[in-house]
């Protein structure tokens, strides 16, 4: 499912250049198709997040994947720009809820192995993105973009039956007061793994226990973490999808370097010819060099995994985030240098590597630091992770500013965002390394060093230990 999700997202990097020629679109119109996908994610994330807290992780994941496959296939029949943009917006709306599957997985993983397993999970995203580029290389020049869009939705369609093999989150069932259903799920997992059934009955969450409200995220004790996370998600989504879209523009960067300095004033005829060349280049299809750059950058998804596996529990979440953000910003700044194409491809690879690693660590940190909410009136932690920050993804920087305005301004923007987020990562007040996923939240005020300081204290789970409930659920599925 993760690989199929990656294919839908990476499709954006190859669909734009193809449509620019086929439908004679401007750069702004091409960027508009990408924008509606992210606008759909902005709208879909809080909606699906609320539904997942009420109906469950599995049901939302299954429904979102089904709708993604259906509307993704319909995009291949779009008769015009309006219909294609509308259908891609619906796909984006459902992508906004598809990451509930990540929450489902994280709620089953034991604390000791959670970070490493979720980082390794990035392998499947890398496989999907690499396969999409290879598929585009084979299909786009011969059959056209409609076949590419249809073929890109097929892996998701073919994997839909596997959804019925996934169990609902036992943690969600317990938090919803459905202890009997949680026992059935846990026992089924134990039987499938040849482990003894759980003894006793897990303690659910009482009706009177405080579960928190969406506005608790902005309490003085939690406000700093919330606002910094908003900025960090802004930075990584802006940068990661910028890299994906920039990958198909690398050949233009090399051509601008080859043209040398700007023409002197008064060379009207030469300038006119240069303008004509620029207009024609805007309607060129993807070349072998473009596919090569995109494929090389996709390998960065695999390259970063060993580094993050080493640092996530050694240095902690905050320092791992800071290092990745900083190096991503540095390599973004180096891309705009006029260097041989192989060197710029290496810079793009390393920027993509660190950006891909940041995405998973942001997921991990936000999942570990957030408190699950109960009842339909509460907004889920999924809102913090997606809904409130997806608005910022600006494809116009990658698809308008870079090709039409200034390469330096575009890459400088990406570089500054990365470096700024590196500093913000170190300002996060909570380190979640070794911390159990909180079941509920208490806010206390203490005086430390003569100053009033707001801190968070996590209440123990109903049986008296902050990690006991998690261990009971997960001990049978290691």
Q: Could you give the residue range(s) of every CATH 1.20.1250.20 domain in the chain?
A: 1-166, 210-258+287-433
Place of tokens 């938090």: 175
- 1-166 topology per CATH: Growth Hormone; Chain: A; (1.20.1250)
Q: Look at residue 284 in the predicted model and tell me its pLDDT.
A: 62
Q: Look at residue 298 in the predicted model and tell me its pLDDT.
A: 86
As a whole number of angstroms, the distance between CA 328 and CA 183 comes to: 44
**DSSP bridge partners of 433:** none
As a whole number of angstroms, the distance between CA 196 and CA 198 comes to: 7
User: Consecutive sets of 10 residues in the chain, 478 residues long: mean pLDDT of each?
Assistant: 78 84 83 85 84 86 91 92 93 86 81 84 86 91 91 88 85 80 85 79 53 64 84 86 72 60 44 41 66 84 91 91 94 81 84 90 82 40 43 49 60 88 92 68 38 34 38 34
As a whole number of angstroms, the distance between CA 141 and CA 22 comes to: 12
Q: Look at residue 158 in the predicted model and tell me its pLDDT.
A: 87
Whether residue 176 contacts residue 433, with contact meaning beta carbons closer than 8 Å, is answered with no
- 210-258+287-433 topology per CATH: Growth Hormone; Chain: A; (1.20.1250)
As a whole number of angstroms, the distance between CA 362 and CA 321 comes to: 8
| Helix runs in 99-121, H state only | 100-106, 114-120
Q: Look at residue 179 in the predicted model and tell me its pLDDT.
A: 81
Q: Look at residue 255 in the predicted model and tell me its pLDDT.
A: 60
Q: Look at residue 1 in the predicted model and tell me its pLDDT.
A: 67
As a whole number of angstroms, the distance between CA 61 and CA 173 comes to: 16
Q: Look at residue 476 in the predicted model and tell me its pLDDT.
A: 35
């Amino acid at each position: 499912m993760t690989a199929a999700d990656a294919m839908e997202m990476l499709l954006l990097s190859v669909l734009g250049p193809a449509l620019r020629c086929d439908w004679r679109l401007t750069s702004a119109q091409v960027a508009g198709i990408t924008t509606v996908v992210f606008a759909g994610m902005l709208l879909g994330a809080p909606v699906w997040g609320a539904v997942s807290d009420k109906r469950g992780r599995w049901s939302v994941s299954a429904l979102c994947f089904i709708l993604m496959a259906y509307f993704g296939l319909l995009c291949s029949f779009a008769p015009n720009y309006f219909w294609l943009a509308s259908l891609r917006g619906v796909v984006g709306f459902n992508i906004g809820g598809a990451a509930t599957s990540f929450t489902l997985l994280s709620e089953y993983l034991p604390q000791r192995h959670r970070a490493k397993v979720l980082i390794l999970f990035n392998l499947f995203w890398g496989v999907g993105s690499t396969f999409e580029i290879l598929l585009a290389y084979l299909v786009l020049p011969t059959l056209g973009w409609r076949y590419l869009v249809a073929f890109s939705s097929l892996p998701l369609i073919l994997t839909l039956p596997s959804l019925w093999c996934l169990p609902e989150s036992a943690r969600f069932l317990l938090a919803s007061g459905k202890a009997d259903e949680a026992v059935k799920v846990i026992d089924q997992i134990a039987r499938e793994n040849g482990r003894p059934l759980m003894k006793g009955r897990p303690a659910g969450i009482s009706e009177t226990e405080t579960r928190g409200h969406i506005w608790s995220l902005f309490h003085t004790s939690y406000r700093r973490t919330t606002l910094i996370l908003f900025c960090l998600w802004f930075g990584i989504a802006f940068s990661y999808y910028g890299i994906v879209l920039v990958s198909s523009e690398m050949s233009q960067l090399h051509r601008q370097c080859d043209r040398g300095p700007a023409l002197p004033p008064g060379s009207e005829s030469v300038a006119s010819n240069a303008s004509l060349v620029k207009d024609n280049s805007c309607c060129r299809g993807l070349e072998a060099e473009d596919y090569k750059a995109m494929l090389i950058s996709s390998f960065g998804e695999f390259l970063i995994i060993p580094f993050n596996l080493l640092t996530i529990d050694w240095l902690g979440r905050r320092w791992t985030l800071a290092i990745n953000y900083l190096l991503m910003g540095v390599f973004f700044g180096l891309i705009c240098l006029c260097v041989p194409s192989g060197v710029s491809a290496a810079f793009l690879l390393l920027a993509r590597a660190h950006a891909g690693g940041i995405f998973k660590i942001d997921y991990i940190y936000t999942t570990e630091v957030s408190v699950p909410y109960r009842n339909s009136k509460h907004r889920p932690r999924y809102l913090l992770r997606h809904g409130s920050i997806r608005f910022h993804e600006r494809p116009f920087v990658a698809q308008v500013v870079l090709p039409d305005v200034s390469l330096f301004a575009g890459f400088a923007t990406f570089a500054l965002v990365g470096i700024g987020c590196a500093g913000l990562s170190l300002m996060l007040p909570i380190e979640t390394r070794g911390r159990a996923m909180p079941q509920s939240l208490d806010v206390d005020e203490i005086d430390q060093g003569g100053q009033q300081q707001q801190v968070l204290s996590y209440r123990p789970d109903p049986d008296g230990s902050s990690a006991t409930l998690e261990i009971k659920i997960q001990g049978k599925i290691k």
